[in-house]
Structure 1
Amino acid sequence: MTSAISQVPLSELPMDNWMGNLPSALWDTPLCYMAIPGSHNAITYCLDKNDRSPVDLTQPDMLQKLDKYMKPIIRPFVYKWAIAQESCIREQLDCGVRYCDLRIAHRPNDSSNDLYFYHGVYTTMTVEKVLKEIREWLDVHPKEVVILSFSHFLDLNQELHTLLVSTIKSVFDSKLCPRMERVTLQTLWSQGHQVIVSYEDNIANWHRELWLHIPYWWANKCKAEALIEEFERRKQNGRPGGFFVTGINLTEDLKYICSHPTESLKDVVMSTYPMLLSWVKQQQPGSNTGSLNIIAGDFVTGSQFIPTVIALNENLLNRTIIPEP
């Protein structure tokens, strides 16, 4: 049955149930050909401001050294540039996010097996608590599907990986979609699946409920023009097979941070969104070459990012989709 509101522009669908309200013509479209809004560093809204652990090794060398010797001065800068989302996970999902970039860590000198998220510093919320919040949200949104990407594991040994996988299975249970060649909303709905888990570790090879790591196109540019130019270059070489992410998140380098002491990552992101979203509107999902799939960004609930990405799926309504291999 076609949704009662399927005739309205896709950007005007209720964001908390936009998948369930898509026109029936899109129900059999492979999800890897659809435009899906994603959240880069999704769980950075709850960074631990009392954390005194060393800045993680993914940060610039100079920032690590300064943090070691000048922590009271450097930490405020770290927080301003480490927070990539201000809305909690429920709010992000309510606003239409359907892909979450999750960076997992075990705190140094922590005798427990608790795992956290991190981006420069660690979060206050554990991984298990956030996953349970996602599960509760899915229970009341039975036609919505989320893609969770677990990656950038920091200080996880094999035992902790095994524990994390066990937690994922326990929390989501039958909602987990096992690896399959063709994934559509119709297929997922018929089987009661709502969660696709991408896992960036070899342990994924031994669990059919875990999908292999979904590629993430990262331009590593600090200006919007350079980011767009890099993605246009990559598009010329065709798209990866299956799911993939285009991250329109800019790179903050230490030189820029130090020369703009009163700014934050949010200031930079919001000032560049008009140009970035103008580029996003030009994208054409649904073809084997030159098209985008998941598009992830920072501060995704504070702009028109999500409805802009969802609206791209209108281009699919009259297009024949090439089947997945």
Structure 2
Amino acid sequence: MKQLYVQLGQQKEMSTVDATSFQGSLKDLPTDNWMSHLPCALWDLPLCNLAIPGSHNTVTYCLDKNNRSPVDLTQPDMLQKLDKYMKPLIRPFVYKWAITQESGVKEQLDAGVRYCDLRIAHRPNDHSNDLYFYHGVYTTVTVETVLKEIREWLDSHPREVLILSFSHFLGLNQELHRLLIETIKNVFVTKLCPKTESINLRNLWQLGYQVIISYEHNILNQYEELWAPIPYWWANKCKADALIEELERRKQRGRPGGFFVAGINLTEDLKYICSHPTESLKDLVMSTYPELLEWVKAQCPGSGTESINIIAGDFITESQLVPTVIALNENLMQWTQ
């Protein structure tokens, strides 16, 4: 009987959404609830065929300038050596090129981000089990703290679906992986969507699932809550035209079958940084956004070989990337009539 009441309640909720789905241009959707306002014609399409805005290196708004831990081992050798012997001079320099987002995670979600790129680390010489995010240097906030913030946001946005990609693990052993996965399960509980072949908004809403966890480690095979790593098209370029050329080359090979990310994030190499000592990553990114957004506007989601799915960028709340990506879903309407 309880299950029947739940089903009836879900049907009532669905009919309410049917009556209030957005009728105007998708670029004008309220960004904090844009999924729940999509036209009902899009509810049954596989989620991997929709255009979804994402943030690259989501948690870099709270990097720790004062921590004594060395620059992480993914950074160039020369930068690691300079940081070791000239930390007071080098650390602020690293910091301004390591920040990819200045807004907190809740602000990013309110702005419409539905894919989060989460890079996880255990600090060297840390005897606790605390995990942090990192990009060059480590964050001041723990992974658990941010996950709880995301859960709180989801509770107040019950029709929004997030894709959380855990990757680039640094310093984690098997036990820390297990502890992280248990934390994920304890925080999101019944909101976690088990891995399956295909999902759409309608069945996610009906089942109460709001979180898809992508996990870039072979331990994922032991958990039904963990999805396979999501391919990320990283151009590794510091100029917009070169980045676009690389993404177009990737498109010619055909899109992956499920979720995938086209990253429009630029890469600053040591040579570029040294030749632009007064600038920051934000200066580089914001100067190229107009050209990159023109490329985004020309894209089309769907199942075609050259279609896109998730598009991720830097400084997401300070550009027009989110509404531009959401509006791409209008291209799908003609196929659902």
- Say yes or no: TM over 0.5: yes
Moved over 4 A (4+): none
Q: 2:58 is matched with which residue?
A: 42
Counterparts of 1:255 and 1:240, CA distance in 2:
33
Counterparts of 1:302 and 1:107, CA distance in 2:
30
Q: Is structure 2 residue 250 aligned with structure 1 residue 234?
A: yes
SS at match of 1:318: helix
- How far is 1:66 from its partner? 1.1
Q: Deviations over 1:1-31 (max 9, x none)?
A: 4353511111111100000000000000111
Q: 2:226 is matched with which residue?
A: 210
Q: Is structure 2 residue 276 aligned with structure 1 residue 278?
A: no
**Number of residue pairs the alignment of both structures matches:** 321
2:292 alignment partner AA: L
Counterparts of 1:283 and 1:212, CA distance in 2:
25
Counterparts of 1:182 and 1:294, CA distance in 2:
16
Give me the identity figure in percent.
76
The TM-score normalised by the length of structure 1 is 0.97
Query: Please, which of 168, 172, 189 is the counterpart of residue 173 of structure 1?
Result: 189
Query: Please, which of 47, 63, 70 is the counterpart of residue 79 of structure 2?
Result: 63
Q: 1:101 is matched with which residue?
A: 117
Q: Is structure 2 residue 214 aligned with structure 1 residue 182?
A: no
SS at match of 2:36: coil
Unaligned runs of 5+ in 1: none
8 Å Cα contact 2:41/2:336 also seen in 1: no
Q: 2:10 is matched with which residue?
A: none
8 Å Cα contact 1:101/1:150 also seen in 2: yes
Counterparts of 1:309 and 1:16, CA distance in 2:
14
Q: CA 1:216/1:279 → structure 2, altered by over 3 Å: closer, same or farther?
A: same
Counterparts of 2:324 and 2:164, CA distance in 1:
21
Q: CA 1:178/1:233 → structure 2, altered by over 3 Å: closer, same or farther?
A: same
Q: Deviations over 1:226-265 (max 9, x none)?
A: 0000111111110011000111101101111111111100
Q: Deviations over 1:112-155 (max 9, x none)?
A: 10000000000010000000000000001000000000000000
Counterparts of 1:319 and 1:44, CA distance in 2:
39
Query: Please, which of 135, 142, 167 is the counterpart of residue 119 of structure 1?
Result: 135
8 Å Cα contact 1:3/1:21 also seen in 2: no
Query: Please, which of 153, 157, 176 is the counterpart of residue 160 of structure 1?
Result: 176
The answer to which structure has the higher helix fraction is: 2
Counterparts of 1:178 and 1:171, CA distance in 2:
15
The TM-score normalised by the length of structure 2 is 0.94
1:264 alignment partner AA: S
Q: Is structure 2 residue 108 aligned with structure 1 residue 92?
A: yes
Counterparts of 1:257 and 1:3, CA distance in 2:
53
8 Å Cα contact 1:228/1:279 also seen in 2: yes
Q: Deviations over 1:11-67 (max 9, x none)?
A: 111100000000000000111011000010000001011112111011111111111
Query: Please, which of 282, 297, 317 is the counterpart of residue 301 of structure 1?
Result: 317
- How far is 1:288 from its partner? 2.7
Q: Is structure 2 residue 69 aligned with structure 1 residue 53?
A: yes
**Which structure has the greater CA radius of gyration?**
2
Instruction: Please identify, of 141-150 and 69-78, the stretch whose mean Cα deviation from structure 2 is larger.
Output: 69-78
Root-mean-square deviation (Å):
1.0
- How far is 1:206 from its partner? 0.7
Instruction: Please identify, of 136-145 and 65-74, the stretch whose mean Cα deviation from structure 2 is larger.
Output: 65-74
Q: Is structure 2 residue 194 aligned with structure 1 residue 148?
A: no
